[in-house]
Structure 1
Amino acid sequence: MLDQLLGLIKENSQQAIVQNPAVPDSQNTEVMQTLLGSITGGFQQQAQAGNIQGLMGLLSGNSGSNASSLMNNPIVASIATNAISAIVQKFGLSNSAAGGIVSSVLPGVIGSLISKVGNPNDSSFDFNSVLGGLLGGNQTQSGSSGFDFNQIGSALADGKLDMNDLIRVGGSLMGGGAKGADQDKQQQGGVDLGGLLGGLFGGK
């Protein structure tokens, strides 16, 4: 997933980074790698905190796919803040210069990711690979963890979540009813079904 995501960053960085006089040519790749780390780190933090619902909403395009809508999404806004801070600290750019880079590149990258995840004819990204990578990298098949990430993709196929979707995804999240040590292990992995349901129905 990282190589594909870095490819999206490169596609959206020509003007903001490569042609930016504030960024020396020798640092172009490093700035892109810093953006990559901020994006994956931000997604990972959300996944491990149990905010699967928020990630599902973002990657399904429920927050919109234009730049202003994406930058107003709390997950994307958090990634942007961290990315700006990282670029300022690592490369000595001003906040405004770093902010310009992030605001130019990040919406395009996230928008492309949303488009690819939602396109059944594009196999470069899907919910299985994206969320599987975020939650440990080795949990990409249902047999390895009891969590079939493709359940999330199918749950969002009609563009909305209903109770049947929640039951199907929830059963997958909990390993089909796993109990005891196995259930504890899954909860320690950051998948909080209670938090998912609470988020969907306005809980705190």
Structure 2
Amino acid sequence: MLDQLMNIIKEHGQKAVVENNEVPNEHNDAVMQEAGSSIFGGLQQMIRNGKMEDLTGLLQGNNNNAANGLAENFAGSIAQKFGINAESAKNIAGGLIPQVLGSLVSKAKDPNDKSIDLQGILGSLTSGKGGGVQNILNSVGGQFGLDKDKDGDVDFGDITKMFGK
């Protein structure tokens, strides 16, 4: 999942990071890596803290508070680690994190785009331990086209329909 996320960050990082004079060129890759770590870590934190509604809203593209929290954490991190002034860090985060999250959600919702797999993302976030993942899958499964048999949940029956015939 982190590789998929990094590809999206690189797509959107050109303007926000690479072409930004506030980010020294020698830190471009590290700043984009930090964006990936901040997003991935923030999503994991939501799961650990039981904030499934925040995560579900974010994956549906509806939770601006959660997205803002991820952007704030990223801004603070790059300001501290790379000496980028706080205002510039906020601008970088505000220009990058929402675009990355929007692209992630868009790709996950698109049945023709196989580059992002919602189940794989959720599995990565929980290190394969499940937990509240089934609840998340059930709540957003219809939107992401995962509930193939339209029975209101995402289960083995849906998986067989995804890969059968």
Which structure's CA Rg is the greater one? Answer: 1
Identity of aligned residues (%): 38
Unaligned regions of 5+ residues in structure 1, if any? 64-69, 159-163, 173-204
The corresponding residue for 1:105 is 96
Q: Give the CA deviation at 1:40.
A: 0.6
The corresponding residue for 1:118 is 109
Secondary structure of the structure 1 residue equivalent to 2:141: helix
Separation in 2, partners of 1:11, 1:146: 30
Contact 2:78-2:89 at 8 Å conserved across structures:
yes
The corresponding residue for 2:162 is none
Contact 1:44-1:134 at 8 Å conserved across structures:
yes
Within a 5 Å distance, the mapping from 1:54-203 to structure 2 comes to 54-61=54-61, 63=62, 73-136=64-127, 138-139=128-129, 148=134, 150-156=137-143, 165=152, 168=153
Contact 1:117-1:126 at 8 Å conserved across structures:
yes
Unaligned regions of 5+ residues in structure 2, if any? 146-150, 157-165
- From the superposition, tell whether residues 91 and 114 of structure 1 become closer, same or farther in structure 2 (CA, over 3 Å): same
Instruction: Give me the CA root mean square deviation.
Output: 2.7
TM superposition score normalised by structure 1: 0.65
TM superposition score normalised by structure 2: 0.79
Aligned length: 150
Separation in 2, partners of 1:31, 1:21: 13
Q: Give the CA deviation at 1:94.
A: 0.8
The corresponding residue for 1:29 is 29
